[in-house]
Amino acid sequence: MTGRVLVGVKRVIDYAVKIRVKPDHSGVVTDGVKHSMNPFCEIAVEEAVKLKEKKLIKEVVAISCGPQQVQETIRTALAMGADRGIHVEVSGKDYENLGPLQVSKILAALAKKEEASLVILGKQAIDDDCNQTGQMTAALLDWPQGTFASEVAVEGDKVKIVREIDGGLETIKVNMPAVVTADLRLNTPRYATLPNIMKAKKKKIANVKPQDLGVDLTSRVEVVRVDEPPQRQAGMKVETVDDLVGKLKEAGRI
């Protein structure tokens, strides 16, 4: 086992920003809007760095796919403790159409190339909410997966994962190499402070193109239209129970 962990980090619109739909309904406004690392990806990075601090793994590699700007996101991961970064250059139309299938193909290729023992990802991105990349990556690699992880414990060449599922918690033990996706309660990510960001500037970020990895970026999904959620109707106040019954009958509810 190389003891190398790959962590995928995605640059998304910051969680606190109010999203606006473009007037032509082709997408959301991203120009000049604050972006940051996907919160679930932060948790993934934190987990990888924690494993390294416990000396259970040797190296943390942060990966992001996209244009120049994603290097900021990789730098944040480096400031949190990742050892080096890989920037997979994707821009323009390819970037607009980049989805879980393409990203998982890229991650699978890199996982093989880097001989990774573990791939840790956030469970989903807060922009597209796909919750697919981890699962697809595991399938492409034919590796076991532990998704929605709220606890990860490396035990020799196996990983014990506690998963958050609808009924409660499920504990599984899988062989390494494996794919893990991080859920909210897995850990508390450290803040990338200024001194850490300065120190991280010495760490390397390698540039790679999807073609070099033999990955085809064609998308099989086309975004037809993007709309805002329907406006909430204002509530109405009534004086008596009879008024309430009357209004409900009017609205055809009873």
Interface with other proteins by CB under 8 A: which residues?
Answer: 15-16, 39-40, 126, 184, 188-189, 191, 193-195
Q: How far is the CB of 208 from other proteins (least distance, A)?
A: 30
Smallest gap, in angstroms, from Cβ of residue 184 to other proteins?
6
Which CB atom, from 184 or from 226, has the smaller least distance to other proteins?
184
Tell me how far, at minimum, the Cβ of 195 lies from other proteins, in Å. Answer: 7
The answer to whether the beta carbons of residues 110 and 86 sit under 8 Å apart is: yes
How far is the C-alpha of 58 from the C-alpha of 104, rounded, in Å? 23
**Which helix (H) or strand (E) segment is 187 a member of?**
none
The candidate with the shortest Cα–Cα distance to 205, out of 92, 64, 52, is 64
Q: What's the rounded Cα separation, in Å, for the pair 127 and 103?
A: 15
Nearer to other proteins, 156 or 195 (CB): 195
Closest distance to other proteins from the beta carbon of 10 (Å)? 15
Toward other proteins, which CB reaches closer, 42 or 83? 42
12 vs 86, beta carbon nearer other proteins: 12
Residue 33 to residue 41: CA distance in whole angstroms = 19
CB of 116 to other proteins, least distance (A): 27
Token reading at 151: 């606890």
Distance CA 78, CA 198 (A): 10
Question: Between 23 and 195, whose beta carbon lies closer to other proteins?
Answer: 195
Q: Which residues contact 218 (CB under 8 A, 6 or more apart)?
A: none
